[in-house]
Amino acid sequence: MNGKKVKINVEYLRPNSRIIYPLYNSEGKKIAEARDVLTADRIASIRSDCGSIVFAVDTGREGAVSLKKMNAARMVSRDIVHEITATEKLTRTAYLEAERVIEEIVADLQSYEFEAINLLKDLKSHEEYIYQHSVNVGILAAVFARVNGDFTPDEIKRITLGAYLLDIGLVKIDVALLKKKGRFEAKDMQKMKQHPQFGYEILKNIPGIDPIVLQTVLFHHEKNSYKGYFQLPYDLLPMPPKIVSVCDIYDALTTDRPYRQALSPTDALRFLVNSIGTNFDYILVHGFINHVGPLLNNTQSFYRRGDFCELNTRELAMIMEFSMLDYLKPRVLVFCKFQRVKNKMIVKFYDRPVEVSLEDDEERRLVKIIDNPQHIHAIRTRLIEKGMIVWPFPSASG
């Protein structure tokens, strides 16, 4: 056997796909011929006989995609891995997760995927920041889609690819506008808002391009409040663009820009929580906070004991204790409820504050952490006057 020995993870073999090279077990015994169709049963039997790793030998001849093209794609992929190493945004665990997805994308490359990945080169030469941002969003989306648990390995690949390419339409927008400092005028914004459509137009011409990639690029600026670029009903959107949009915002917030400083991971996660109902829905943010958040922000939580929060029940509460099971479900002390009386919103304080674990309460959900210092001061003063809290807030140990 002359050629390069390539490891193949059986988990990532797609049922009813045709393999390019023969497959071998770890002892070098052939277990499938080149061009064999791998049915689900066949994959299950390979997994049971050989475990999760099998081998192929890349001779550079049999590939459906030419060796030259494969190598070019590997170069782009190497650039991507290099970008991941250069960014200090991700923990080692997140990096390893992302690296695996990227390796698999290249190892099991379809010709349309090669063409799509290669488009990133155009983006890199067009505007470096957007290229780096796209790479970061791809990595975050790969991790989010994987830990989410609802997607097949193949779908994870498509979501990652869509995330890499989310802003590819910006290659059709003047670089001077992309680099513009300060606020955009209405006509600039109108131009910028065309980039999902431009991206879709570029990609749809690639034969065999997957709908997940197209959906992700086209709908990555839709919001929960009908305020997205196309103002579509958020509930009806597929999950991949939603996953990518939350990763898009997180990375943008945590990156320095000419017109503003980067937020810390803590503040960016807090921003996402406060976007429930406006930009995103609860389930999406819940998934990101609990599954991806710890990989990004492993030293501190995005709220503190003593922070005030709003609940979906229009109640106001103070955070007492973190939940290790679910970051969005801390133990809280509920003080009051906002009520509408004759078109006026009034606050009705309870006789005694109610201590609730949001983990056990099926009615109440945290929907906002209050950030406005004046509001925080006003609430705290009122609660101290009513004797409902002691301030300074006692530490966890005391």
Task: Report which residue type is found at 214.
Answer: L
Q: Which is nearer to Fe ion, 204 or 304 (CB)?
A: 204
Work out whether 222 is an interface residue with Fe ion (CB under 5 A): no
Q: Which is nearer to Fe ion, 194 or 312 (CB)?
A: 194
In the bound complex, what is the minimum distance in angstroms from residue 180's beta carbon to Fe ion? 16
- Joined together, the tokens standing for residue 49 give 């006989």
DSSP codes of every residue in 137-167: HHHHHHHHHHHH--S-HHHHHHHHHHHHTTT
In the bound complex, what is the minimum distance in angstroms from residue 221's beta carbon to Fe ion? 6
Residue 67's nearest CA partner among 34, 111, 105 is 111
In the bound complex, what is the minimum distance in angstroms from residue 42's beta carbon to Fe ion? 41
Q: Which is nearer to Fe ion, 167 or 307 (CB)?
A: 167
Burial of 113 (C-beta count, 10 Å sphere; 0-12/13-18/19+): buried
In the bound complex, what is the minimum distance in angstroms from residue 130's beta carbon to Fe ion? 9
Work out whether 210 is an interface residue with Fe ion (CB under 5 A): no
DSSP state of 83: H
In the bound complex, what is the minimum distance in angstroms from residue 141's beta carbon to Fe ion? 13
- Tell me the CA distances in angstroms from 108 to 70, 303, 323, one per residue in order: 10, 41, 40
Q: Which is nearer to Fe ion, 104 or 167 (CB)?
A: 167
**Site track for Fe ion across 233-272, x = CB under 5 A:** ----------------------------------------
CA distance 60 to 67: 5
- Joined together, the tokens standing for residue 332 give 């809280």
SS3 for 304-330 is CCCCEEEECCCEEEEEEECCCCCCCCC
Q: How far apart are the first and last CA of the chain?
A: 69
Q: Which is nearer to Fe ion, 108 or 167 (CB)?
A: 167
Q: Which is nearer to Fe ion, 162 or 287 (CB)?
A: 162
CA distance 352 to 334: 9
**Site track for Fe ion across 127-166, x = CB under 5 A:** ----------------------------------------
Q: Which is nearer to Fe ion, 19 or 141 (CB)?
A: 141
In the bound complex, what is the minimum distance in angstroms from residue 110's beta carbon to Fe ion? 25
In the bound complex, what is the minimum distance in angstroms from residue 162's beta carbon to Fe ion? 12
Work out whether 167 is an interface residue with Fe ion (CB under 5 A): yes
Q: Rule CB under 5 A: which residues touch Fe ion?
A: 167
